[in-house]
């Protein structure tokens, strides 16, 4: 593949998109002759912000994608007003996201579209063999086996942008080197010479695929690794009682103590459903069983994740809570370059606590372990139910604690299938949303 410097930002108006634009601008300043550029940007409804982002990029993107067809006329007018009509091509509709993802003018796709809406474009980028900076965890939650099989076939690189999975990826460097040494000792790890999926060997793919080694004990992948440990901030309700959580308002749930994120992911953090989805993502991304994944609460959001090895050693990745670092890591891997994210301030005291999770107050977390254990259709059902429940809570139609209840009941009501096709997964996405909405009608918030 190429150096990955022509970047498509899918979801450019969200927090991930804005951070990616900042990272690329910084890379251009650091290495002005390196060829880093934004090849395309996409947005759905915040069209003014999308056009402003395109206008600020240098050079301006070749393509501006507006996935909501109802905003096409508005986008065209704003592009003309900004003086971009001669330099940018407007592409409209959901299919335009796929066209941007597979374009031969794109090396790397940053998958930053929130939720199920990002599935098709991310999957097609993988099928096209692109490097994919994966911020859209729902793609793997919904269709993990489909995506990982496509990556194995195409040679695409899946580089995680979620801070927790990026941390694990970084902590696994030694294990990946050991895996590569066992399978291709003469081939050094590098941007152009990495066999297997996800760049370096031994990260995912079916047993027996190029670069696979055992994960700790027999039957698992990557040598010497015992456990992956995801950290969770605990969100705004870390110390709240169940009664306080049941009475929580949307404003309280959106008041995250350490991260500045969009509404949906902030509510997911408050319920710990975000961590539940990350458990499932880790299962597919690193090809590990659910019983080798752990979650601990770390309120300071400095330790982003840890890896425990068979000898008892634990390696962690630390940095201030800023998404620009994992984004840049996904773009420039395996190289480390100066980043606009702030460094860890070492002239002040840092308290870095690790706290066991309270599963009774955060029942959503257990759903993630169960879905990661059974696989199949469970992921798409959990995600569809959650994407339905969160807006219902934000609009005052259900209580905060009803989110996890709705998701569990929707999971319980579905007939599990272990090896579904992509079409079947998409059918169940529709079914799960409808079922969750039906269940919500039976809830009284009075």
Residue 46 has pLDDT above 50, yes or no: yes
CA distance 230 to 279: 8
CB-count exposure of residue 312 (10 Å: 0-12, 13-18, 19+): exposed
pLDDT value at position 181? 64
Q: What is the pLDDT of residues 63-120, one digit of tens each?
A: 999 999 888 889 899 999 999 988 999 999 999 999 999 999 999 999 999 888 999 9
In this predicted structure, what is the pLDDT of residue 350?
A: 84
- Asked if the model's pLDDT at residue 192 lies above 70, the reply is no
The pLDDT-based confidence of 182 (bands split at 50, 70, 90) is: low
Cα torsion at 362, 363, 366, 368 (round to 10°)? -80
* pLDDT of 431 strictly over 70: yes
The model's pLDDT over 235-262, given as tens digits with 9 standing for 90+, comes to 889 989 999 999 999 999 998 877 777 7
| CB contact at 8 A, 156 and 126 | yes
Per-chain mean pLDDT for the chain: 88
Average of per-residue pLDDT across 47-70: 92
> What's the pLDDT tens digit per position in 298-355?
999 999 999 999 999 999 999 999 999 999 999 999 999 999 999 998 898 888 999 9
**Distance, CA of 365 to CA of 370 (rounded, Å):** 9
Residues 289, 207 contacting (CB under 8 angstroms): no
Distance between CA atoms of residues 445 and 314, nearest Å: 45
The predicted structure's pLDDT at residue 349: 86
- Among 253-267, 286-300, 349-363, 383-397, the minimum mean pLDDT is found in 253-267
Average pLDDT over residues 216-232: 75
- In this predicted structure, the answer to whether residue 233 has a pLDDT above a threshold of 60 is yes
């Amino acid at each position: 593949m190429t150096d990955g410097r022509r970047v498509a930002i899918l979801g450019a108006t969200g927090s991930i998109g804005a951070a990616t634009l900042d990272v690329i601008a910084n890379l251009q300043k650091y290495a002005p002759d390196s060829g880093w550029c934004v090849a395309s940007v996409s947005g759905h409804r915040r069209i003014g912000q999308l056009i402003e982002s395109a206008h600020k990029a240098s050079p301006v993107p070749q393509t501006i994608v507006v996935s909501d067809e109802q905003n096409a006329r508005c986008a065209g007018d704003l592009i003309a007003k900004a003086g971009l009509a001669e330099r940018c091509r407007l592409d409209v509709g959901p299919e335009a996201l796929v066209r941007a993802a597979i374009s031969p003018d794109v090396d790397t796709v940053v998958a930053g579209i929130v939720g199920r809406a990002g599935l098709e474009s991310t999957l097609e980028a993988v099928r096209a063999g692109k490097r994919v900076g994966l911020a859209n965890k729902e793609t793997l939650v919904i269709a993990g086996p489909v995506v990982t099989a496509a990556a194995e076939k195409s040679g695409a690189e899946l580089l995680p942008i979620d801070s927790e999975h990026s941390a694990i990826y970084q902590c696994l460097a030694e294990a990946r080197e050991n895996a590569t040494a066992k399978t291709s000792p003469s081939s050094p790890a590098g941007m152009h010479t990495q066999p297997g999926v996800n760049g370096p060997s031994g990260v995912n793919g079916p047993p027996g695929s190029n670069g696979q080694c055992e994960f700790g004990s027999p039957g698992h992948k990557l040598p010497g690794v015992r456990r992956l440990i995801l950290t969770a901030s605990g969100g705004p309700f870390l110390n709240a009682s169940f009664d306080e959580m049941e009475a929580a308002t949307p404003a309280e749930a959106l008041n995250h103590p350490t991260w500045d994120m969009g509404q949906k992911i902030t509510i997911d953090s408050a319920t710990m459903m975000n961590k539940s989805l990350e458990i499932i993502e880790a299962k597919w991304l690193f090809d590990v069983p659910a019983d080798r994944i752990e979650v601990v609460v770390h309120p300071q959001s400095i330790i982003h994740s840890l890896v425990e090895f068979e000898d008892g050693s634990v390696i962690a990745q630390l940095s201030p809570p800023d998404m620009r670092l994992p984004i840049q890591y996904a773009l420039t891997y395996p190289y480390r370059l100066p980043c606009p994210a702030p460094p860890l301030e070492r002239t002040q005291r840092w308290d870095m606590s690790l706290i066991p999770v309270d599963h009774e107050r955060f029942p959503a977390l257990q759903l993630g372990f169960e879905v990661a254990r059974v696989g199949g259709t469970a992921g798409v059902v959990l995600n569809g139910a959650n994407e339905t429940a969160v807006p219902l809570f934000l609009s005052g139609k259900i209580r905060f604690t009803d989110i996890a209840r709705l998701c569990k009941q929707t999971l319980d009501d579905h007939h599990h299938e272990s090896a579904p096709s992509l079409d079947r997964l998409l059918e169940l996405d529709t079914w799960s949303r409808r079922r969750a909405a039906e269940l919500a009608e039976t809830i009284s918030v009075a």
